[in-house]
A and B are shown apart, each in its own frame.
Chain A
Amino acid sequence: MASRQAGNSYEDGYILVPPSILTSRFLWYTVICLGQLVNSSTMITFKNVSKIYPGQQIALKNINLDIKPGEFVSIVGQSGTGKTTLVKLILAEERPSKGKIVIGGWDITGIKYREIPTLRRQIGVVFQDFKLLPRKTLYENVAFALEVAGESNEKISEIVPQVLKIVGLESKVNRYPTQISGGEQQRVVVARSLAHRPKILVADEPTGNLDSINSRDIIELLKKINDFGTTVVLVTHNREIVNDLRKRVITIEDGVVVSDQKRGKYLL
């Protein structure tokens, strides 16, 4: 009887129903350990990564990074220090000249051309220039990202209102980008980047064109997304934002990581 009860107590969440307490307990620990292993594994890993552009322009030198699932990381540094290059390496828009890059357990160092779309569907991207299509409504702009990735029409009509609601624009879905403010436009871009339910959201200076109030809104949005469990990588050189966030800050200077703090401040 006892063994049965013990067996039942392990049923929830685990497929394995052990025949005896002993083995079940053993499996139970194994599962926990494995779970911790998964948890402790990293979402983004850079190992001795250098990027040298044609013409001997060294953008990144020997970068080592470990970003864990669910982390919120700010990457700061002056202009021209290689922050965007780092983002492009994550997206496989550029390839490392040296070193190894692993995203979610997938070594993308030598990623094949035809595999790139699969990678990008799992990473949401937000850039400084808004990059909304002016001839499409907000709804159509978000739907476009799903359409071109081959999502079904039913799925599209289900997801688009959801993500537009997350960014608080559910009432303006039929407007065109010119009919909303800059901050709202950037929120649509965030909504679009969420459409694929990415595990990682990369935002390269998302507040670069926005005033402080709109910037704050965007950052709040990113925090909210991070709370859902998405790993967020925020590239910025906005001091206030970084200091208010009280999250991990990686500082890059001339292509080198000069500091990596758990609850960082803007150093420069």
Chain B
Amino acid sequence: MLFLSLSRVIRFSAQNFARNIWLSIVTITIVVLTLFSVTTLVFVNAVMEQAIQLVESKVDVSVYFKPTVTAEQIFAVQTNLEALDYVRDVEYVSKSQALEKLRVRYNNSPLILESLKELNDNPLNDTLIVRTHDTSDYQKVIDILNATPQYAVLIENKNFDDNQAVVRRLERIAAEVTGVGWAVTIFFSIIAILVIVNTIRIAIYTHRSEISIMKLVGASNWFVRGPFIGEAIFYALVGTLITLGISYLVTNVSDPFVVNLLGQTDFSLLRYMNQNVVHIFGIEFIGMVFVSVFSTSIALTRYLRV
């Protein structure tokens, strides 16, 4: 009995959908726009997060030791620094390694390579590269190095790559993008609500004779309203599926750029999408069902009088 009613309600929903086909297309378009702006927001957030992590991982403090300092002394400093709980790791780079790195880095610049060759003495220092768990802890490392006299004698120079400023800027951009993304999403959601209310209103109008007959012959209220609710869910479903398709297309096209941009982090948008597809679009579908059923209820209470 319930199943029978349900199948009839679904059939009537499909008829509602088909009878005002152009209106249905407009409605689905706005549903897709809404969902796609959410998807874009999710993607941009994922990429931004990766970018911030990438930059954060590059923040470090380099401690350059005087040429007279022995390796043992440096290792002692390294051990002490590693003992700090906010320090993630301390990397030792000898001056010959540093020179090698320099050569590799400027492999494509013959001029610099020439000048490096001309040096008969290695002008570089032995170095410790300190990374902390949190970017805000770099200042603590610098402070400790400054405040400890036995370190000060050994250290020629220290250099705090101020990537933190870059991180902050990225975070600010991410926040702004998220803000704009939400504004766009809310904007589209409001339009979607208006469009769906109107679509259902017209559907009610188109079916006014059916509805009055249904009521006169004693169709339950659920049965009268069911097809319109069904239509709303149908919009959410079709809209989500189309958004899913478009999102895959966009991901495929943009992935090379993203992979290039975040080269070192091994991040792929396509892989991200594949891993989270059920999650992202499941939530979007449920959210859109809420939006469209809500809109339909508005239309039904306003335009479907008993």
Contact: B209 with A133, CB < 8 Å?
yes
Q: Contacts A148-B223, A150-B1, A150-B223 known; A117 to B213 CB distance under 8 Å?
A: no
Instruction: Report if A14 contacts B (CB, 8 A).
Output: no
Collect the chain A residues with CB atoms within 8 Å of residue B210's CB: 133, 144
**Contacting residues, chain A, for B216 (C-beta < 8 A):** 91, 120, 125
Whether A249 sits at the interface, judged by CB under 8 Å, is no
Inter-chain CA distance A131–B4, complex, in Å, is 25
B119 at the interface (CB under 8 A from A): no
Q: Mark A135-173, 1 if CB is under 8 A from B, else 0.
A: 000000000110111101100000000000000000000
Taking a contact as CB atoms closer than 8 A, the residue among B212, B219, B221, B224 that contacts A131 in the complex is B212
Q: Binary interface profile of B, 215-242, with partner A (CB < 8 Å = 1, else 0)? A: 1111111011000000000000000000
Evaluate contact between B218 and A121: CB separation under 8 angstroms: yes
CB-defined contacts of B217 to chain A, threshold 8 Å = 120-121, 125, 144-145, 148-149, 192, 195-196
Residues of B within 8 A of A152 (CB): 1, 4
Cβ–Cβ < 8 Å partners of A148 in chain B: 8, 213-214, 217, 219, 223-224
Residues of B within 8 A of A125 (CB): 216-217
Expressed in whole angstroms, the minimum distance between the Cβ of B149 and any Cβ of chain A is 86
A117 near B221 with CB under 8 A, answer: yes
Taking the closest CB of chain B, its distance from the CB of A131, in whole angstroms, is 6
Which residue in B1, B209, B213, B220 is a CB contact (below 8 Å) of A145? Answer: B213
**CB nearest neighbor in A for B224:** A148
Q: A147-B8, A150-B5 are in contact. Are A133 and B213 (CB under 8 A)?
A: yes
Instruction: With CB as the reference atom, state the residue of chain B lying closest to A126.
Output: B216
Among A114, A149, A153, A196, point to the contact of B221 (Cβ < 8 A).
A114
Contact B209–A131 (Cβ < 8 Å): yes
Q: Provide the residues of chain B in CB contact with A228, threshold 8 Å.
A: none
B76 within 8 A of A: no
A28 to B25, CA, bound (A): 70
Residues of B within 8 A of A (CB): 1, 4-5, 8, 209-210, 212-221, 223-224, 306
A115 CB to closest chain B CB, in angstroms?
Answer: 10
Residues 100-126 of chain A, each 1 if its beta carbon lies under 8 Å from chain B, else 0: 000000000000011011111110010
Set B209, B219, B306: member contacting A149, Cβ < 8 A: B219
| Besides A113-B221, A148-B219, A150-B1, 7 new A-B residue pairs in contact (Cβ under 8 A), listed by A number | A113-B306, A117-B220, A131-B212, A131-B213, A133-B210, A144-B217, A145-B213
Q: Are A119 and B221 in touch, CB under 8 angstroms?
A: no
- A236→B212 CA distance, assembly (Å): 22
Task: Kindly provide the distance from the CB of A202 to the nearest chain B CB, expressed in whole angstroms.
Answer: 10
Q: Count the A residues whose beta carbon is within 8 Å of the partner chain — how many?
A: 24
How near does chain B come to A166, taking the closest CB pair, in angstroms? 17
Give the residues in chain A near B220, CB-CB below 8 Å.
114, 117, 149-150
Report how far A116 CA is from B4 CA in the complex, Å. Answer: 21
Report the minimum CB–CB distance from B11 to chain A (whole Å): 9
List residues of chain A with CB within 8 A of the CB of B214: 148
Cα–Cα, bound, A230→B180 (Å): 68
Chain B residues, CB < 8 A from A116: 218, 306
**Smallest CB–CB gap between A177 and chain B, Å?**
11
A120's contact among B1, B5, B8, B218, by CB below 8 Å, is which? B218
A121 to chain B: which residues have CB within 8 Å?
A: 217-218
The 27 listed contacts between A and B (C-beta, < 8 Å) are A91-B216, A114-B220, A114-B221, A116-B218, A117-B218, A117-B219, A117-B220, A117-B221, A120-B216, A120-B217, A125-B216, A131-B212, A145-B213, A145-B217, A148-B8, A148-B214, A148-B223, A148-B224, A149-B218, A149-B219, A150-B1, A150-B4, A150-B223, A152-B1, A153-B4, A196-B217, A196-B218
Task: Tell me which residues across on chain B come within 8 A of A150, comparing CB atoms.
Answer: 1, 4-5, 220, 223
B285 to chain A, nearest CB (A): 29
In whole angstroms, how far apart are the Cα atoms of A144 and B8 in the complex? 10
With known contacts A131-B209, A133-B210, A150-B220, A120–B4 Cβ distance under 8 A: no
Q: Give A85 Cβ to nearest chain B Cβ, in Å.
A: 16
Give the CA-CA distance A196 to B306 in the complex, in Å. 21
- Which of chain B's residues have a CB closer than 8 A to the CB of A133? 209-210, 213
Of all A-B residue pairs in the complex, the 8 with the closest CB atoms, nearest first, are A120-B218, A121-B218, A148-B219, A145-B217, A117-B218, A148-B214, A117-B220, A125-B216
Report the minimum CB–CB distance from B18 to chain A (whole Å).
12
**Assembled-state Cα–Cα distance A70/B220 (Å):** 27
Q: How far is the CB of B25 from chain A (nearest CB, A)?
A: 21
Nearest Cβ on chain B to A205's Cβ, whole angstroms: 15
In whole angstroms, how far apart are the Cα atoms of A114 and B306 in the complex?
11
**Bound form: Cα–Cα A196–B218 in Å:** 10
Query: Chain A: which residue is nearest B215 at the CB level?
Result: A120
The winner among B4, B219, B221 for most chain A CB atoms within 10 A is: B219
A119 to B220, CA, bound (A): 11
For the complex, what is the distance from the CA of A147 to the CA of B219, rounded to whole Å?
9
Of the listed residues B210, B217, B223, the one surrounded by the most CB atoms of chain A closer than 10 A to its CB is: B217
Q: How far is the CB of B213 from chain A (nearest CB, A)?
A: 6
* Min distance, Cβ A86 to any Cβ of chain B, angstroms: 16
- Residue among A125, A133, A148, A192 with the most chain B CB within 10 A? A148
